[in-house]
């Protein structure tokens, strides 16, 4: 069983829901979460950071690197980007707030389920397709081809 964890960003205005795949890591691996408005200046190249559409997730390198053998890598090769892209500490869904966003969007369509089932099914199908297109256009990291991430 995998687990998820909600963590407020450093400014306290937003919350990210983080998924821990394969139960290797837990909330102790998360050093900080930054919303675009409270993100530090770009830390490109810093192995502790992964950036996604202005959000930044800072992982504790000591903790994630202690799992290097399980990942089949050397400690120096383990980065926050790799851990995120491999699904060991990543967003639940596509975005940091995907669960809440998805629930709000689906709730707006629920009235159709009681009045016009065919319209509801079509609306849900179109919503799913348009949602993926929107996330791709917005540039969310999980919408990139896995080969582009080196996985």
Tens-of-pLDDT digits for all 151 residues of the chain?
567 899 999 999 999 999 999 989 999 999 999 998 888 776 678 999 999 999 999 999 999 999 999 999 999 999 999 999 999 999 999 999 999 999 999 999 999 999 999 999 999 999 999 999 999 999 999 999 875 556 5
Give me the residue spans of the domains in the chain: 3-96, 99-138
CB atoms within 10 A of CB 105: 13
Nearest in space to 52 (alpha carbons), one of 115, 132, 138: 138
DSSP state of 94: S
Cα radius of gyration (the chain):
17
Take residue 129 and report the two structure tokens written for it: 């397709």
Could you tell me the pTM of the whole model?
0.88
Q: Which helix (H) or strand (E) holds 101?
A: helix 98-107
């Amino acid at each position: 069983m995998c687990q998820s964890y909600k963590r407020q960003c450093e400014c306290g205005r937003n919350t990210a829901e983080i998924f821990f795949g394969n139960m290797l890591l837990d909330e102790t691996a998360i050093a900080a979460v930054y919303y675009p408005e409270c993100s530090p200046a770009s830390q490109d190249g810093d192995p502790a950071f992964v950036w996604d559409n202005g959000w930044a997730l800072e992982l504790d390198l000591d903790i994630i690197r202690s799992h290097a053998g399980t990942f089949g890598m050397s400690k120096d090769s383990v980065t926050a980007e790799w851990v995120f892209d491999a699904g060991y500490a990543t967003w639940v869904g596509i975005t940091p707030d995907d669960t809440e966003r998805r629930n709000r969007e689906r709730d707006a369509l629920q009235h159709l389920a009681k009045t016009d089932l065919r319209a509801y099914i079509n609306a849900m199908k179109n919503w799913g397709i348009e949602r993926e297109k929107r996330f791709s256009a917005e540039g969310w990291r999980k919408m990139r081809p896995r080969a582009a991430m080196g996985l």
